[in-house]
Amino acid sequence: MAESKGLDAEGFIRTISRRPIQPAFQAAVDNLCDMLLDRLGPLIDSVYLYGSVARGDATVGRSDLDVTLILIREPALQDTQAIESMRLSLEIRHPEVTKIDFDVGYLADANAPENLYKWGFWLKHHCRCVHGNDLADQFDLFRPSRLIARAVNGDFPEVLAAYAQRIEAEKNVLLIERLKRGASRKLIRSTNVLRPVEASSWPESLEEHVDHFLETYPEMRPQIAFFLSQQQMSDSDKGDFVGRLRVFSAWMQLQI
């Protein structure tokens, strides 16, 4: 087992690459920041990218634009509506990304000591600031820990249940495929909550999460392989997918 996976030379979890944003996605990022500042300016503390666009390894027409937005206070209803309106508008303007996701947090939560392993880790190791005060600067680097895994993905029962409901209700085939891919990614990354306490590596890609998971639960290979396969276009029936999703989520909850 390669215990050094995902770590730097000093044993800290690697941070994301700081290579320049790919030219194909720069207009979408610029437009994102302009729209946020125009509509929510005084409410915004900082804006971050995470995922493939943040790392600089995104693929045109296949990658999402993933955004973490830190606000100075909880948004009012009109602010939440403005964020959703911007998301839809940006998706129409920028077909180079498959979809745009906003994760919204509040400054007090991000700075709260009890959220160190959630917000502190997330901002330090997964996010790239594109506007405002980079909160990552106030946190030290993190070493592998099950505390982090559970702080970041411990919400998997609720998130996967919401995905299941949305997939069941959705009629648009393309949207169903997007939702299945998103749910599969969440499930695979959430398997890290079951990591052994003594594990010193840190999975980064979906494939590494699968390999890391199978070291402890080899009997689950067929089940986890199904969800990894959903990253490609799949003809799996949505009812079958939802059933498998719920069964796997329930199994994970029993292991914690």
User: What tens digit of pLDDT does each residue of 105-124 get?
Assistant: 999 999 999 999 999 999 99
pLDDT confidence of residue 2:
40
> How far is 35 from 63, CA to CA, in rounded Å?
21
pLDDT of the residue at 4? 60
Residues 218 and 194: their CA atoms lie apart, in Å, by: 13
Architecture of the domain made up of 23-141: 2-Layer Sandwich (3.30)
**Below-50 pLDDT ranges, the chain:** 1-3
- Residue 174 confidence (pLDDT): 87
Task: Tell me if residue 44 falls in helix, strand or coil.
Answer: strand
Domain positions in the chain are 23-141, 153-255
